[in-house]
């Protein structure tokens, strides 16, 4: 074996070691006001090893990814499980009874401590977190860095689906204060204390692109644009509270506003930004669940381009 080969073997070992020991700064270290909404891979692994009975782990990826590898005890919960198939536009939150039934099938109980994760960005995990919160299940956290962070730590993964008993979760209350509809937004287009925050890509915001089910391109008049990814580091961890606050406050997204209404194409990216602002302790948030698909499909509602 020559020196060149030896060099690359040693380099590979060093890089692998660095990946395994690298970890995100804790939520507390980043000074999040609501740090309890996040959990690290290390903390979750300890909970699994302690065999916490009320622990429920939800893998919020498609079934193919789930079957290629998932966390121990994790069950798969994907888009169809928390979306209304009969909604007037694509992507609306599932109705309370339908969501409760889906959650029961996944083994969720009223007292479950739920951990949700996706690949790495928390995008879909944040959407499901938001749905559970709207339907009054408070004990839920997001695994920061998702499946990728778990794998990078070298923790155990499974291939076979996890079997669970049917749960007893019910929707006991609905937090309608977290949702805003098209008409309310239309009534407040010129209200300086009612901020519309568009979390889509710049091309979507400028009216250069649109996605499926949205026939019109553009944005809601007077909306402010901040891409949902702005709050993430390159490793998909959340930036510090100070850095995230700076991003939003520099654009007028402050706690003093009466309402910050969040919009994306179907509410998924908006839910991620909702979560990020909740980490900072914002209380004036509403998610526009009808989203750009809803606004675009109503010809009576105005829009802007470029």
Do 70 and 147 touch, CB atoms closer than 8 A?
yes
pLDDT of residue 2: 57
Do 47 and 155 touch, CB atoms closer than 8 A?
no
pLDDT of residue 12: 47
Among all chains, which residue has been given the structure tokens 């669940």? 289
pLDDT of residue 10: 47
Which stretches in the chain have pLDDT values below 70?
Answer: 1-24
Do 238 and 244 touch, CB atoms closer than 8 A?
yes
pLDDT of residue 3: 54
pLDDT of residue 30: 85
| CATH 3.40.250.10 is held by the domain 24-152 | yes
> Are 24-152 and 176-297 the same fold in CATH?
yes
Do 238 and 30 touch, CB atoms closer than 8 A?
yes
**Paired sense of beta strands 179-180 and 285-288, if any:** parallel
pTM score, whole prediction: 0.91
Q: Which of 79, 161, 165, 74 is nearest to 128 (CA)?
A: 79
Choosing among 3.40.250.10, 2.70.98.40, 3.40.50.1820, 3.40.50.880, the CATH entry for 176-297 is 3.40.250.10
pLDDT of residue 17: 39
pLDDT of residue 9: 47
**Domain edges within the chain:** 24-152, 176-297
pLDDT of residue 29: 86
């Amino acid at each position: 074996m020559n020196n060149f080969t030896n060099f690359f073997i040693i380099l590979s070992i060093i890089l692998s070691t660095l990946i395994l020991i690298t970890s995100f700064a804790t939520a507390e270290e980043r000074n999040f006001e609501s740090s309890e909404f996040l959990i690290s891979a290390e903390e979750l692994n300890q909970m699994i090893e302690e065999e916490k009975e009320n622990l429920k782990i939800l893998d919020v990826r498609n079934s193919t990814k789930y079957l290629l590898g998932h966390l121990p005890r994790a069950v798969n919960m994907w888009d169809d499980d928390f979306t209304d198939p009969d909604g007037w536009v694509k992507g609306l939150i599932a109705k309370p009874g339908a969501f409760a039934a889906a959650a029961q099938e996944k083994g969720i109980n009223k007292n479950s401590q739920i951990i949700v994760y996706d690949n790495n960005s928390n995008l879909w995990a944040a959407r499901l977190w938001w749905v559970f919160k709207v339907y009054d299940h408070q004990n839920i956290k997001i695994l920061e860095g998702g499946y990728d962070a778990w794998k990078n730590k070298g923790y155990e993964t499974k291939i076979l689906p996890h079997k669970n008993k049917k749960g007893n979760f019910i929707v006991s209350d609905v937090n309608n204060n977290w949702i805003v509809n098209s008409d309310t937004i239309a009534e407040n287009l010129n209200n300086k204390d009612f901020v519309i925050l568009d979390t889509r890509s710049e091309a979507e915001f400028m009216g250069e692109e649109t996605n499926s089910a949205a026939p019109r391109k553009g944005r809601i008049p007077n909306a402010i644009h901040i891409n949902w990814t702005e709050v993430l580091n390159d490793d998909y961890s959340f930036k510090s509270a100070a850095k995230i606050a700076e991003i939003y406050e520099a654009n007028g997204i402050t706690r003093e506003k009466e309402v910050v209404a969040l919009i994306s194409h179907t509410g998924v990216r908006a839910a991620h930004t909702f979560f990020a602002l909740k980490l900072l302790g914002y209380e004036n948030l509403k998610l526009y669940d009808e989203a750009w698909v809803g606004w675009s499909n109503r010809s009576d509602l105005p829009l802007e381009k470029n």
